[in-house]
Structure 1
Amino acid sequence: KYAKNIEDVNAFSSMDVYASVAILKDRKVKDRINTPVAFSAYTNPKWNQMIKFSVDEKLAQEGRLTLLVELMSHRPFLGDKEIGFLRLPMQQLLGSNPPYPLTNSGDANGMKLETHALTGPYGKKGVVSFTYRFLAEQVNIPPPSTPRQPYIMYVPVSPQSYPSSDQIQVTSSYVSVQPGANSGPSNGLVPIYMPPTYQSHGYQQYSPRKSKSQLQPSPRQSQLQPLRMQPLPQ
């Protein structure tokens, strides 16, 4: 929010001050966000800038996370210069203002004000004030997916599917193909081709490897008698 009575580190100009806020994990910077620069702030800069971090509560309770606030004098030509800093254990902040989930109305636990003395190369001079709160993250679990319904594919069967040397009449029909009917993994996919079951009607099935002399007549064919043709009377 603001700082008061901080050290003036500029010798010939008024200070332009910004705050660099970071989350330390095991003393290493994990996330860092800077506030806008408060121009001509002198020793009492104000920001009122909202900053948001994602914090692992388990790591914070284990004492592995630290809040770091550094006040910096913005100097474009000479380089930014540190004014002072503040370190606070995240575990301490959680204990002072525990996290609460958001309610249906959007309200949450109130902001808590903290004011702490700065430490830096110029000793302890000045204080920095900020407000904070922790919001419990809302985890939305997606509903279970609807199981896929069984499906049936109909494959048309044409007479051309059965080559033969004789004239065989085959009625076009459909063959029902259901998933899981065949052995082997299918991964939910229907086979592209499944040979339909052919019901024999007494005819010998043609095989390209056999000649016509090797074909044996079926029992039904052996019972057929040749027709005798008689001339019509004139």
Structure 2
Amino acid sequence: MECRPLDIVIESAKDLKDVNLFSKMDVYALVNIDGDYYIKSSTQKTPTDKDCGTSPKWNFPVKFTIDDAAANQNRLTLVIKLKSDRSLGDREIGEVRVPIKELLDGFGDAKETKHATYSVRTPSGKTKGTLDISYKFGEKFTAPEIKSKQAEPVMAYPAGYAAGSSGAAAYPPPGAYPQPTYAHPQAAPGYAGYPPGGYPQYPQYPPPGGYPPQPAYGYGGYAAPVQQPHKPKKNGGGGMALGLGAGLLGGLLVGDMISDVASYDAGYDAGFDDGFDF
């Protein structure tokens, strides 16, 4: 495989779209080669030009090695993305895409560095500002062809499968797996002692001889209450004696109170008549 070294200098840009609202932009560039690329192209970053606004300057060199055949077949593209460095997340300003074939045709058989200016396209698709670069191709050289190996799909086969053999030979013969059991009597005749062809026979109602006699019900469908016989209270004699004693005691107390009231009234009348004179 024939290859070429490609040296590029990202020089400067001007009249870029301002994506900041208050402060001046801090701008940097990301550079890589996109396309059918046999030798891996890593993305390279320029330093950040602080407070440059819409006219950053870098003069930053980057180097690539390209496949000469892929470049001449227009399968490689130089991609330069311009971004604003911000604390709340970087924001894209625009990008430049240049076919490597275009650079080859412009370089020709020259030995000196070539200069080129390209328009910057914003994310919305409009052109705003320009980017200046310089580039130079080196002499061809032969390098071993390095292609990226595509990942092959991974397929899982049962144990005993051999590549190229038939699929049927890889599976166990019929009867090797356990037979399923069924919980439904109709699905599995004779299951759990049931007779084949259906569910077990249940007893018929009403049973022979009729239902057993039910208790009688009163008004409203409720059973009539059953009265329980009263049991004699214990210690009946003692209660009667206690009642008689309490009556006698109460009578004596009432008699004493009446006597005391009578005596008081007599004394009061006597004292009133003797001691007071109105």
Please give the range of the TM-score, normalised by the shorter of the 2 chains.
0.5 to 0.7
Q: Distance in 1 between matches of 2:64 and 2:74?
A: 17
Deviation at residue 13 of structure 1 after TM alignment:
1.3
TM-score of the superposed pair, with normalisation by structure 1: 0.52
Instruction: Provide the residue aligned with 1:126 in structure 2.
Output: 129
Give CA-to-partner distance per residue, 1:9-46, whole Å, 9 cap, x none: 0112111101111100149x943111111111101000
The structural deviation recorded for 1:79 is 1.2
- Establish whether residue 90 from structure 1 lines up as the match of residue 105 from structure 2: no
**Which residue number in structure 2 is paired with residue 182 of structure 1?**
none
Q: Paired residue for 1:25? A: 35
In the alignment, does 2:59 pair up with 1:48? yes
Report the Cα distance in structure 1 between the residues aligned to 2:108 and 2:137, rounded to whole angstroms. 7
2:223 corresponds in structure 1 to none
1:115 aligns with 2:117: yes
**Residue 19 of structure 2 corresponds to residue 9 of structure 1:** yes
Residues 99 and 136, structure 1, Cα contact 8 Å, conserved in 2: no
The residue identity in structure 2 corresponding to 1:127 is: T
Shift of 1:138: 4.9
CA offsets 1:54-99 (integer angstroms, 9 cap, x no match): 1111110111100011111011x21111001111111111011036
Q: TM-score, normalised by structure 2?
A: 0.44
Unaligned segments of structure 1, at least 5 residues = 101-108, 141-234
Task: Report sequence identity in percent.
Answer: 38
Letter in 2 for 1:91: K
Give the one of 75, 79, 90 matched to 1:80. Answer: 90
C-alpha distance in 2 between matches for 1:14 and 1:61: 41
- Which consecutive segments of 4 or more residues in structure 1 shift more than 2 A? 137-140
Any stretches of 5+ residues in structure 2 without a counterpart?
1-10, 144-278
Q: Secondary structure at the match of 1:129?
A: strand
- 1:169-180 matches, within 5 Å, as none
Indicate the SS of the match to 1:67: strand
Aligned length: 131
Matches within 5 A, 1:67-216: 67-75=78-86, 77-98=87-108, 109-122=111-124, 123-138=126-141
Give secondary structure in 2 for the equivalent of 1:126: strand
Question: Is contact 1:113-1:130 (8 Å) kept?
Answer: yes
Structure number with larger C-alpha Rg: 2
**Distance of 2:142 and 2:104 partners within structure 1:** 20
Q: Distance in 2 between matches of 1:139 and 1:58?
A: 12
Distance in 1 (CA, whole Å) between partners of 2:131 and 2:103 is 15
Separation of aligned partners in 2, 1:95 and 1:23: 17
